[in-house]
Amino acid sequence: MNKTIKLLTAAVSLVLISNTVIAKESRYPEFGNGRIEQNLVKASEYMVSSANPYASEAGMRIIAKGGSAIDAAIAVQMVLNLVEPESSGIGGGAFSLYWDNQEKVLSSFDGREKAPMLADGKLFQENGKNMSWWEALAGGRAVGVPGVVAMMEKVHKKHGKLPWAELFEDAIKLSEEGFEVSPKLAASIAKRTNPALGRYEDTWKYFFPGGKPLQAGVMKKNPEFAMTLRRIALLGAKGFYKGQIALDIVGAVRMTAADNPGLLTAEDMISYEAVERPPVCAPYKAFKVCGMGPPTSGGMTVIQILKLLEGKDLQNLKPMSPEAVHLFAQAGKLAYADRAKYMADADFVNVPVEGLINGDYLAERSKLITDKDMGKAAAGTPPNADKNWLESKSPEQPSTTHFSIVDKEGNGFSMTSSIEMAFGSTVMVRGFLLNNQLTDFSFSEERKGELIANRVQPGKRPRSSMSPFMVFDKDDNLTMVIGSPGGSRIINYVAKTMLGVMEWDMDIQEAISMPHYVNRNGATDLEKDTDIAGIKGDLEALGHKVNVRDLNSGLHGITISSDGLQGGADPRRVGRALGK
């Protein structure tokens, strides 16, 4: 089987609404060393930045017709499910922030998957021993109850303007008439990013027609997905969680994936609810930064990194200097240590949210940052913390997506969406893939008689790193919408990009394009084939263990000022920011 993909381009006209026209160009520019050129996009009225041009165009059309940011977001997500199926979709989960610009109110919504009610702490154990992650990822065992549809309907009922069914039209049309396969999707298939991709027949036939991997540039249809979307468009979320779609999902989890079956039931599907939760916010110098609270660790951990660095005079350091990278890595170590011990689903365990982002606590923790690498950081004891949780790890894979939207009224939407591993569980039903998000739980429920916060429990939501964020100025005006895929590295990607704008006066595209540096309480990772790799020796002299590696984010962001909107898209993927 051919393991390489020639990255093709096809000239198309990108015609936007309201007589806004982009000159003829390739929909998917050629990659150069795994990157494409992305330019800052400016607009005065509204903007969409997402991981695929088809999706950004769909969102723009909705706003042009009078739709709100959530209306556009539904169109964007449904199209992404079709054109970027390896990353997100209705078979997965998501977290989102919605800014109501008229009321000046920020809301956050939890569409994270839930464990079946029959699941317990031994879900990923066989014969008393933990399964390997590779044994657990494919099939039905790791499939949680999907949350995307329920969450989007919940936000739409509160903030939507256009009819629900109208928001599915672009995805339905593309499913029936065909879309151009992107270089990213083609490469993910050909490289077997998920080694189980060919295990189940429906998935194999879809991604390997005639036994060969889909090629970039070919037109691909998905009429089965179109029928699924038509049912959801007609019936709303109940068309997904009740009736034949739900039964087909349960059947796929328990029977199609008979080699690694799951415990999902029709009752689990029917009882799923998306939850509106309070956002997590903290001051950072002249700004207020806001993210999503538990069960994602992203909001708290990003805020911890920022607050740990707040007194370090970053403005007078070059953003890619050894000194700046060292400080960022040390803050990452401290934040990830707390994350591993305390952060999980707050509906099941006591997560000291306010304590973890407490300014006095973090100011004291920041004193541990010196001019030498600290080695492995230990968790602190934030106010109101349970002291008996054990640290846990979960692999959290980088195949996720993020999109940022600002509509004509200045409402903002920031959503990170995922099916976990690339192609999720590799179980396909009704034209979409099911998640394997339950592998984000700790496979061990206890160690030496002490419980782990992020253990499997019936109905529990696994810890996540998804980090949709918004930034506000001192007058409570929205100034930035940002987020990224990237597994547990999401936190680093988002925090560094926010610092690029807030500390180093970069425009949003410069901040997104800046080479990555990451630390998750271990080695410091530097992005391969970028200038940042050149400081490896300087960091090693400070005591760092350094890895130079690919760091494939998918940052998509928008900044808002008196001069209008500016948008950026990650050059490491094939997305696009569009605005009018």
**How far is the C-alpha of 318 from the C-alpha of 265, rounded, in Å?**
54
Quote the CA–CA distance of 33 and 330 in Å, as a whole number.
30
The two three-digit tokens of residue 358, written as one number? 């407490």
End-to-end, the C-alpha distance of the chain in Å comes to 44
User: Would you tell me the crossing angle of helices 298-309 and 322-342 to the nearest 10 degrees?
Assistant: 140
- Which residues does residue 47 pair with via DSSP β-bridges, in sequence order? 406, 579
What distances in angstroms separate CA 63 from CA 101, 246, 430, 477, one per listed residue?
15, 31, 29, 21
Q: What share of the chain is helix, strand, coil (3-state, %, to 5)?
A: 35, 20, 45
| Spatial separation of the C-alpha atoms in residues 312 and 329, rounded to whole Å | 13
Q: What is the DSSP letter of 253?
A: I
Measured N-to-C along each axis, helices 223-235 and 169-177 cross at an angle, to the nearest 10 degrees, of 160
Residues near 347 by Cβ (< 8 Å), separated by ≥ 6? Answer: 295, 460, 461
Spatial distance between the Cα atoms of 490 and 39, rounded to a whole number of angstroms: 22
490 and 416 in contact (C-beta within 8 Å)? Answer: yes
- C-beta neighbour count of 312 within 10 angstroms: 18
Is 400 an active-site residue?
A: yes
List, edge to edge, every strand of the sheet that includes 524-527.
517-519, 524-527, 546-549
Residue whose entry in the numeric block shows the structure tokens 């199609």: 256
| Contact yes or no for 403/568 (Cβ under 8 A) | no
Helix, strand, or coil (residue 23): strand
Mapping DSSP onto H, E and C, the string for 296-347 reads: ECHHHHHHHHHHHHCCCCHHHCCCCCHHHHHHHHHHHHHHHHHHHHHCCCCC
The overall longest dimension of the chain from CA atoms, in Å, is 66
Q: How far apart are CA 354 and CA 342, in angstroms?
A: 12
Contact 260, 138 (CB under 8 A): yes
In this structure, the dihedral spanned by the alpha carbons of residues 45, 88, 97 and 319, taken in order and rounded to 10 degrees, is -80
Cα angle 225, 113, 489; round to 5: 100
Reading the block at residue 498, the tokens are 């926010």
Tell me the pairing of strands 179-180 and 129-130: unpaired
Beta-sheet strands, E only, within 31-85 = 41-43, 47-50
Which of 27, 483, 53 has its CA nearest to residue 217?
Answer: 27
Of the listed 203, 228, 400, 416, which one is catalytic?
A: 400
Question: What is the rounded CA–CA span in Å between residue 335 and residue 361?
Answer: 12
**Which one, of 386, 279, 282, lies nearest residue 338 by Cα?**
386
User: What number of other Cβ atoms are within 10 A of residue 453's Cβ?
Assistant: 24
Q: Which residues are part of the catalytic machinery?
A: 400
